[in-house]
Structure 1
Amino acid sequence: MTDDIITAATTATTSNERFAQAPGDPYRYGVYLRPDPVTCAAVTAVTAQLRAQYGLVSAGAFPPHATLVGSRHLPGPEEEIVEAVTRAVADVPAFTVHNAGIRRQGVGLVYDVHHLADGTTPNTALVALAARIDTAIAPLETPAPNPAAHPFDADTFRAHLSLLSHDMYVRPDPDLFAEVEEYATALPVPFSDSFPGNTVALYRTRSDDWTGRWWQTLTWEHVRSWRLPR
């Protein structure tokens, strides 16, 4: 019993020392576009089903969202982050977001919300909003020694709502992916073909290990929302 206590204390000390390498650890911030309630419910239903059936949890570890800027190390006062996002969204009007349904993206599955109704033209209003927010918070960001970088690049940015994501990096079985894709697309879950892009939200996230399977210990808190005018 004594050995277990010593081991636990040593582990906690090591973790604290590692996170002390950068001010603000182990927290990160994300600025998200919140979908309409119907789509949020759809994301929740699909991710809950994938967790219940296959134990896949990374996409469902977050609230339903389309990332504008994600997992940024912003160690300064939270009020400065709020002020920066407030400036970025000032006078930005709401716009329509189109949902093309479940698509493959990277190692996972997403609701594709990057394009206009034609399915091929990028939604420039959505990309421009992400770029504005990135520009606003960039001066507040400092490097952290442990997480991967998440730079914004308008050319590679792809707006999406995650349904299946980082779990598949550690379970890279093509047969499993094919089964999960078939399962997810067959779920009788309704979603909106389009919804107003009018709600931006700031979240604070925390994980015990941003270098590894962070989704297994991820927690988050809603900080602030902004409603874009019509």
Structure 2
Amino acid sequence: MTAQTRAQYGILSAGAFPPHATLVGSRHITAPVEEIVAAVSGGLAGVSAFTVHNAGVRRQGVGLVYDVHHLADGSTPNAAFVDLAARVDSAVAPLQTPAPNHTQHHFDRDTFRAHLSLVSHDMYVRPDLSEEVEEYVTGLPVAFPETFPGDRVTLYRTRSDDWSGRWWRTLTWDHVHTWRLPS
């Protein structure tokens, strides 16, 4: 999806990251990698894999996402997903340092929405494309799984020249570590 919207409209933000559902975002952490990995490992202790339900393309804020926040009924939040995000957030919160140019976003269990971004921050600067892009995305014949295992947590290191601006134009990321949750 993100490759298609980039090719058709030059939309970059959702595809600037590897495909993922953010558990903890917008945290400025300068601790050594080993310390971050140890903290997340501790936060994941006792957490088992769970089933993720994909309700398909939905509008979220200015963007479009695959809604993976709810159970199969479409209205009950997937408590395992919310709990996982809360545990990872609690694990890394003590490692956070003040960011030089970034608004802080603290985890809130009530507003957290697990999702896979398809179209995101570009729409703040191109709201004129919103309806057209939504029609294009929902019209693409892309099959998606209704369920899949939530069995991996991955840590990425991200960098951008300007987190308060159009960060997706200069974003780079590196894979740091992956944890496999037991079944």
TM-score by length of 1: 0.78
* Paired AA for residue 74 in structure 1: I
- The aligned residue for residue 154 of structure 2 is 201
Q: CA deviation at 1:76?
A: 1.4
Instruction: Give the one of 56, 63, 72 matched to 2:11.
Output: 56
Q: Deviations over 1:164-198 (max 9, x none)?
A: 0000111122xx21111111011111111000100
Q: CA deviation at 1:218?
A: 0.3
* Paired AA for residue 153 in structure 2: V
**Equivalences, count:** 183
Instruction: Give the one of 104, 107, 112 matched to 1:149.
Output: 104
Q: Which moved more, 1:182-191 or 1:110-119?
A: 182-191
* Paired AA for residue 149 in structure 2: P
The structure with more helix, counted as a fraction of residues: 1
Separation of aligned partners in 2, 1:120 and 1:97: 14
Aligned residues: percent identity?
74
Q: Deviations over 1:35-75 (max 9, x none)?
A: xxxxxxxxxxx000000000000000000000000131111
- The aligned residue for residue 118 of structure 1 is 73
Q: Secondary structure at the match of 1:68?
A: coil
Q: Secondary structure at the match of 2:100?
A: coil
What are structure 2's unaligned runs of at least 5 residues?
none
Tell me whether 1:178 sits opposite 2:134 in the alignment. Answer: no
* Paired AA for residue 91 in structure 2: A
- The aligned residue for residue 66 of structure 1 is 21
Tell me whether 1:223 sits opposite 2:172 in the alignment. Answer: no
Give the 5 Å matches for 1:7-26.
none
Q: Secondary structure at the match of 2:80?
A: helix
* Paired AA for residue 52 in structure 2: V
Separation of aligned partners in 2, 1:148 and 1:170: 18
Tell me whether 1:210 sits opposite 2:163 in the alignment. Answer: yes
Q: Secondary structure at the match of 1:57?
A: coil
Tell me whether 1:47 sits opposite 2:2 in the alignment. Answer: yes
Q: Which runs of 4+ in 1 moved over 4 A?
A: none
Instruction: Give the one of 17, 20, 34 matched to 1:79.
Output: 34
Q: Secondary structure at the match of 1:135?
A: helix
What are structure 1's unaligned runs of at least 5 residues?
1-45
TM-score by length of 2: 0.98
Separation of aligned partners in 1, 2:67 and 2:139: 17
Q: Secondary structure at the match of 1:220?
A: strand
Instruction: Give the one of 43, 66, 71 matched to 1:88.
Output: 43
Separation of aligned partners in 2, 1:168 and 1:213: 11
RMSD between aligned residues: 0.7
